[in-house]
Amino acid sequence: MKPISLRPRRLTATPSEQSERKARAGLAAVVAGCIALTSVVVLTGAGSATSGVGFTQSGHWVYNSAIGRIFHLDGATKDVDAEVKLDTAGPGAQVVQTDKNGYVLSGSRIDQFGKSDLTVAEPIEAPVDEQPVGLEAAGAAFAVYPKAGHVMRLGEKQAAAFPGGPLGDPVVTPDGTLWVFRASQGDVCQLPLSADRMSCPASVPKGHKGGLTVLDDDVAFVDLTAQKVYRLSNDGIDERLDLGGIEVPDDALVAGNDVGGRLAIVDPGKSVVHLVEIAKGKQPAATSAPIRRGKYDKVASSGDGLALLDRKRADLVTLDRNGREVSHQQVPSRAVAGERKREPSLFRGDDSRVYVESGKGDRVVVVDRDGQTESVTVGGERPGPVPTTPTPTTTPSKTTETPKVPVRKTPPTRKTPPSKTIEPEKTTPTNQATARAGLPGAPSAVRVRAVSGAATVTWQAAAPHGATISSYRLSWTGGSMTVPGSARSARITDLAGNTGYTISVRAVNRVGAGPAVRSNRVQFNWGVAESPGGLAVRGTPSSGSLVLGWNRPQLGEGTFVRYDVSMGSQTRTTTAAQLTWTGLTAATRYTFTVRAITRSPDGRTLTGEAATVTATTQRKESVIASRGAGADYGNCEPPECAFILIRMSGLRPDTRYEIHPWTTEWGNFNPGATLTTDEKGGMVVDDRFPCNAVGQTVWVTVKAPDGTTYTSNKFVWTSS
């Protein structure tokens, strides 16, 4: 089926709203130029969009099942700025986005559309008939089916995994790594953005309850049963900490992201929120705050705010970073006779805002970083912010019609020329031009490039939202700086070597600081030595040693210290470009690794790239002759007569060899025999060559198919 091309419908608005939007659109055009949609795409990795880097997506797509359309909601301006017609999804469908596409997640199907051309494409087959949980980060989108235990990554790096259900609430890190908890098995599993399969590096005891959370860029598992916090990495559990002295039930809610740098745990039963400071190398410290009573079953962080949702009652409460209530409101949905009531849903966007959708997607409450909220009607006229306290009647409101009445009553009583009677009408729209300024938007295209301990950060301007941007704030682990609002780059020095950094940039105007955007993660490493070239075995291998040789490599930014030569768990060092490794076993295959070790300008030891070679020691051929058992053969009679006993080892396995006996006086006195070695290259001959050469020296020769001849030891024959 060919993609269905759809033309965006012009959104309806009142004349005053149209004027306001034109003014806002003109300002956005000056700052950002012409773009297909008003959503901001923020690059979070070095390179081009096709190089596998991540993007931070601004805003949120919402599916309004009442009218069968998908709408894009700009989280910063609270404007609906694009729409796509789609009538195949049902109520409760969730929309997630990558940098190029949007995906509508329904219980039995996944519809997809292009964000630039608003074109609906062929649907993707859903793995199971279950409403999935949607997540998005770093330009990737995910559909997690918790009951069936199935995971899908959508977009250019599409992948599927089946860790097995049931799964707890999933989380995704800023670099696009998805983490899930297999509650039945106790496994904590991850799907990095660069991987096509899931691994489970950590586990907790079976039956323990808990939840995953992202603390800045790190992932932790909160074991509610054991009252512990486990810091996680690709290698498993890095650190085990307690919960700072608090006690929480095992059905408490764990926020999937930190709130102002702290872990948030909500105990609905006791109506309290716990905020736990988790710092590396320190014991956690917790503070607690009372919250409004409610049967909350969903919680999410907006950065410095927390959204609590009671889905059955459609009750939403937001808190600030210290646990104080910011707002309380209902999330209603238009009622339709005969239809069952749909519960609202809670979604944390890639822009860190929380979007609480009504059951049909016809209304969305946007929770900003600080917990402030604004309700938006999706698919109709914008209602404006929902106040938490009664608004004074003297305060102008865009949604209130009464102020228009007195304005239009007084001008007709004035007897002035038409040009003058219009003057009051011209000044009225200035109320919209001087509308309340808001926090600035997110800067875009935040990139960082590292060179020898210094970082150059670049970004594009953030939307001012009614107030001039006065400065940009940059922050990273261990430091921060502020630059003028006209700046588009900054250089950061004195960063520690061998340390990874993510630089966050946020715009500031007179209202306050806007959302922070993280850059790509960079590692400040001194350049290490390249791998030694020409690594090989020099000379002819012996049965017990090998001589390794190599060429001196480029040393990077360090000064030469030594070479480390490793074989298995053993390491030997040398300053020369060769090493003789002794004590080896004959006819054995060995693998050696050579690295150049250097010292960085700041005194750190740097391990260079590895060069590897595999070699086999020579076989240690052995042919031993001696007087064997007595024999009686023709003229050869005991006690002088006996067989020559021949023991051979280290020869080629399953190979035929010619064997000849010799004495000093008789020479090659026996025509000999051609016999075959066993699978290990060995052979014992004890009944072939009778001999009675008393007083003579006796030996044997063994000739290989290639002509190589081995001579045994020589001994004097005796009569017994």
Domain assignment present for 636: yes
Which has more confidence, 608 or 402? 608
Question: Are 633 and 659 in the same domain?
Answer: yes
696 pLDDT exceeds 60? yes
Question: Are 603 and 680 in the same domain?
Answer: no
Domain assignment present for 220: no
Q: Per-residue pLDDT tens for 543-562?
A: 788 999 999 999 887 899 99
The pair phi, psi for residue 152, each rounded to 5°, is -130, 135
In the prediction, which pLDDT does 38 show?
A: 35
The share of the chain scoring above pLDDT 90, in percent, equals: 49
2 pLDDT exceeds 70? no
CB 99 within 8 A of CB 138: no
* Per-residue DSSP letter, 412: G
Helix (H) or strand (E) holding 15: helix 15-32
Give the Cα-Cα-Cα angle 172, 38, 26 (nearest 5 degrees): 150
397 pLDDT exceeds 50? no
How many DSSP H helices and E strands does the chain contain?
Answer: 5, 60
Domain assignment present for 303: no
Domain assignment present for 89: no
Cα gap 264→464, rounded to integer Å: 31
Domain assignment present for 627: yes
Residue 369: C-alpha distances to residues 76, 326, 513 (Å): 10, 12, 10
Residue 264: C-alpha distances to residues 222, 344, 365 (Å): 10, 22, 21
Which has more confidence, 138 or 273? 273
In the prediction, which pLDDT does 697 show?
A: 96
Q: Per-residue pLDDT tens for 55-73?
A: 567 799 999 988 899 999 9
528 pLDDT exceeds 80? yes
CATH number, residue 600:
2.60.40.10
DSSP string, 237-293: EEEEEE-TT----TT-EE-SB-BTTEEEEEETTTTEEEEEE--TTS--EEEEEE---
Place of tokens 């209602």: 383
Question: Are 485 and 564 in the same domain?
Answer: no
501 pLDDT exceeds 90? no
Cα gap 76→74, rounded to integer Å: 6
The domain total for the chain is 3
Q: Per-residue pLDDT tens for 185-227?
A: 889 999 998 888 888 989 888 889 999 999 988 899 999 999 9
The pair phi, psi for residue 65, each rounded to 5°, is -75, -20
Range of the domain at 580: 536-616
Question: Are 629 and 711 in the same domain?
Answer: yes
Q: What is the CA 461 to chain-centroid distance, rounded?
A: 27
Q: Work out the mean pLDDT of the chain and round it to a whole number.
A: 82
3-state secondary structure of 144: strand
Residue 593: C-alpha distances to residues 21, 31, 535, 552, 587 (Å): 66, 55, 9, 14, 20
Q: Which residues contact 51 (CB under 8 A, 6 or more apart)?
A: 45
CB 618 within 8 A of CB 626: no
407 pLDDT exceeds 80? no
User: 121 has which bridge partners?
Assistant: 112
Residue 237: C-alpha distances to residues 20, 187, 200 (Å): 53, 12, 11
Strand 262-267 versus strand 236-242 pairing type: unpaired
Cα gap 505→485, rounded to integer Å: 12
Mean pLDDT over residues 423-450, rounded? 65
Question: Are 634 and 611 in the same domain?
Answer: no
Question: Are 498 and 547 in the same domain?
Answer: no
pLDDT tier at 539 (50, 70, 90 boundaries)?
Answer: confident
pLDDT tier at 46 (50, 70, 90 boundaries)?
Answer: very low
Cα separation of the two ends of the chain:
97
Place of tokens 């950094």: 501
Domain assignment present for 503: yes
Tell which of 463, 498, 524 closes a domain.
524
Question: Are 514 and 566 in the same domain?
Answer: no
Cα gap 328→678, rounded to integer Å: 86
Residue 189: C-alpha distances to residues 232, 253, 347, 611 (Å): 10, 20, 22, 33
Question: Are 684 and 633 in the same domain?
Answer: yes
Question: Are 512 and 493 in the same domain?
Answer: yes
Residue 275: burial class (beta carbons within 10 Å; 0-12, 13-18, 19+): buried
Domain assignment present for 25: no
Sign of CA pseudo-dihedral 582, 583, 587, 590: negative
Cα gap 34→38, rounded to integer Å: 9
CB 308 within 8 A of CB 299: yes
Mean pLDDT over residues 332-343, rounded? 68
pLDDT tier at 432 (50, 70, 90 boundaries)?
Answer: very low
Tell which of 472, 500, 524 closes a domain.
524
In the prediction, which pLDDT does 502 show?
A: 85
Mean pLDDT over residues 487-507, rounded? 82
Question: Are 512 and 480 in the same domain?
Answer: yes
Of the listed ranges 20-34, 249-263, 438-452, 620-634, the least confidently predicted one is 20-34
pLDDT tier at 36 (50, 70, 90 boundaries)?
Answer: very low
The pair phi, psi for residue 112, each rounded to 5°, is -135, 150
CB 154 within 8 A of CB 110: yes
Q: Per-residue pLDDT tens for 561-586?
A: 999 999 998 999 999 999 999 999 88
Q: Per-residue pLDDT tens for 341-384?
A: 789 999 999 889 999 999 889 899 999 999 999 999 988 544 44
Q: 10 Å Cβ neighbour count for 397?
A: 14
Tell which of 482, 498, 524 closes a domain.
524
In the prediction, which pLDDT does 433 show?
A: 38
329 pLDDT exceeds 50? yes
Strand 119-125 versus strand 536-537 pairing type: unpaired
Question: Are 501 and 468 in the same domain?
Answer: yes
Question: Are 626 and 703 in the same domain?
Answer: yes
